[in-house]
A and B are shown apart, each in its own frame.
Chain A
């Protein structure tokens, strides 16, 4: 549990919408090479936290820091916070203050990829095209901002071949190679979920944020998803932050669980710790902590 292992550190994050406090003074961290789950009852503010991390919302207060490469970059955190810049990179170690960055830069520079609760694929484009759009930034550079591309220079053709190879690798991983040339909107629901994850992985992220990836999946598909996420964690050097309601998935794969309720963190630790935390049980049953025992016997827990 050394601090140096953190990939993401959220400090005193508060998000207000008018008078509504969606997230209040939330602090947690996610470690490199781990799957961190963010759970909580409906309306607990999980997706708001995600939107703050990925730059879609500007948090009202707080700091969101992401580190990649050399862990010593964390030592610069306070100096970076005091300065007016967004990021610091040196000798292979980079530190980003995500709350200062617009959404597309969070994805492009800090390399945080995300998926959405309601699937957001490019439905009218083929499966392969979806994975190529995800590699837009390196391809754009290779096409010389379209100048080399229009002239058809080999430099761009090579880059595109490489991008297609990368896409095919991911298609093999999620088992959709046969459907590469079909429109993404034509895929079954479960395949669309996996494709969205593959598309996010094609941006080569440091941190992958998944918003309810198991929603709407059957138990077999959920189990496959768990395997996919474990292989992403182990084989691709990508840390995962996960919002999930499906406890079977959470308890099976997460290394670290953070529980939110009404925008406040109520528990933080290993899955065993969280499972037995009376605060968590009370929040999920929707009662005060003192009444948990009574309600639990009532419903037969």
Chain B
């Protein structure tokens, strides 16, 4: 009896909640979605109502709210009631066991990805899949892993990470164009230059913590971008740098000439070879990042980074030079951004300050936070979901048949990101993989539950 009574009350409340949610959605979406500015034949700006789209979205919100309160929430409550304490740690262990199989599988897939792409979409079609999906995602995985050192391990909130990416990209572009150095010389050089800038940024902000550090690093990112825009003599300003030399296959250029890659190896010329080569270059670079990060974490320097995140004062009492430790984290993270930047410049052949806006920093930080700070696997999953998701939006042409020909799904990118982030922060406030793997053990390796691990306050 009591149970059914409770269920009936729930239904009434669920309907009320859904109606309120619908009303709020209507209020918010009316100006955003319901009205659209357009230019008519007489070149006047007019408001064009879109009642159908508005109705679909509001109905979607109402339906979601109903599903949430009638199905999802009671189910999760039942599960929570049935679950004894400590189960979550066991679940985390189970997830860690799954993670053990995920890593080799993901690595194998990443190595064979160009083969799959060519098999399924043919020589011409696969360029898009390898370049837009494969290379793009791997660049962000690498950036995420680099930023993970600063934010995830050392607990220093850096909102200007893209500045180091820009330093790497411009270092490659300018040095390659002016002096004609090859990609393989400039790759480490760009990393070193970016690391140098990391130290340069590190010095003044060492005393800052948390929010203040975040603001100053963000300002640093903007300064770099503004310098790139305004130092026209060097960087060509907004117009950017074009005609950047492309990487060669260890000296053999990827072109249609007789000494080009295709001719040398007796193949028919196709842009796909360069794309595949670039794919494997960035794959190796990101694996290098992962290898170095994982190795460093198990070394004294990595433990000092994590100890710094846990408690800076205790670190100093144990004789750890927190200045050097912070600078090493900053410069390590910056170095990998520099590698990624020089790769980016080499792949695009054209760079401009547009590619290094604050949105990029925010995106990389979002990848690290969503993935779970400090977890390489989580960061990789988040990068695949976020960057792959963005690229997938371009492929959703069938939505045009639903919402009309003018509908462009990529315009809803940020809206979807926002929604995804809110959802993940509700379900997994510490990111997809929030547990911590100890760096040394005596008897057995136990995963550390997220509740013990600090996020760092600068």
Contacts and interface: CB of A to CB of B under 8 A. Distances in A.
A121 interface: yes
A152 B311 CA distance: 28
A174 interface: no
A137 B295 CA distance: 18
A136 B303 contact: yes
A69 to B, nearest CB: 18
Interface in B404-446: 436, 438-446
Given A107-B318, A124-B453, A150-B295, A136 B304 contact: yes
Interface in B301-335: 301, 303-304, 306-307, 309-311, 313-322
B232 to A, nearest CB: 41
Contact of B436 (A120, A124, A160, A177): A124
Nearest to B448: A183
A107 B304 CA distance: 15
B318 A150 contact: no
Contact of A139 (B300, B442, B445, B448): B300
Interface stretch (A15-23, A70-78, A125-133, A226-234): A125-133
B214 to A, nearest CB: 21
A262 interface: no
Given A123-B310, A124-B310, A132-B303, A137 B319 contact: yes
A143 B452 contact: no
Nearest to B321: A104
A116 interface: yes
Nearest to B291: A150
Contacts of B301: 140, 143, 145-146, 149
A89 B254 CA distance: 64
A156 B300 CA distance: 10
Contacts of A113: 317-318
Contact of B318 (A126, A134, A186): A134
A153 B262 CA distance: 42
B316 A104 contact: yes
A260 B321 CA distance: 32
A136 to B, nearest CB: 5
Interface residues of B, number: 38
A126 B299 contact: no
A122 B306 contact: yes
Contact of A150 (B292, B444, B445, B454): B292
Contacts of B314: 116, 120-122
Contact of B442 (A103, A116, A181): A181
B30 interface: no
B449 interface: yes
A203 interface: yes
Contacts of B320: 104, 133, 136-137
Contact of B307 (A104, A125, A185): A125
Contact of A181 (B292, B322, B446, B454): B446
B193 to A, nearest CB: 20
A93 B322 CA distance: 28
B443 A103 contact: no
Contacts of B295: 149-150, 152
Nearest to B450: A124
A55 to B, nearest CB: 8
B437 to A, nearest CB: 10
A133 B441 contact: no
Interface in A168-211: 168, 171, 177, 180-186, 199-200, 203
A67 interface: no
B245 to A, nearest CB: 31
B439 to A, nearest CB: 6
Nearest to B454: A124
B89 to A, nearest CB: 10
Contacts of A184: 452
Given A54-B317, A150-B295, A199-B318, A164 B311 contact: no
A9 interface: no
Contact of A124 (B300, B322, B441, B452): B452
A143 B301 CA distance: 9
**Nearest 10 pairs of A and B residues by beta carbon:** A124-B453, A107-B319, A108-B319, A122-B310, A120-B314, A180-B442, A149-B299, A139-B300, A185-B452, A183-B452
Interface of A: 54, 56, 103-105, 107-108, 113-114, 116, 120-126, 128-129, 132-137, 139-140, 143, 145-146, 149-150, 152, 156, 160, 164, 168, 171, 177, 180-186, 199-200, 203
Interface of B: 292, 295-296, 299-301, 303-304, 306-307, 309-311, 313-322, 436, 438-446, 448-449, 452-454
29 contacts: A54-B317, A104-B320, A105-B319, A108-B319, A120-B311, A120-B313, A120-B314, A123-B452, A126-B440, A129-B438, A132-B300, A132-B303, A133-B307, A136-B300, A136-B318, A137-B319, A139-B300, A140-B301, A143-B299, A146-B296, A150-B295, A152-B295, A180-B442, A180-B443, A183-B449, A184-B452, A200-B317, A203-B318, A203-B319
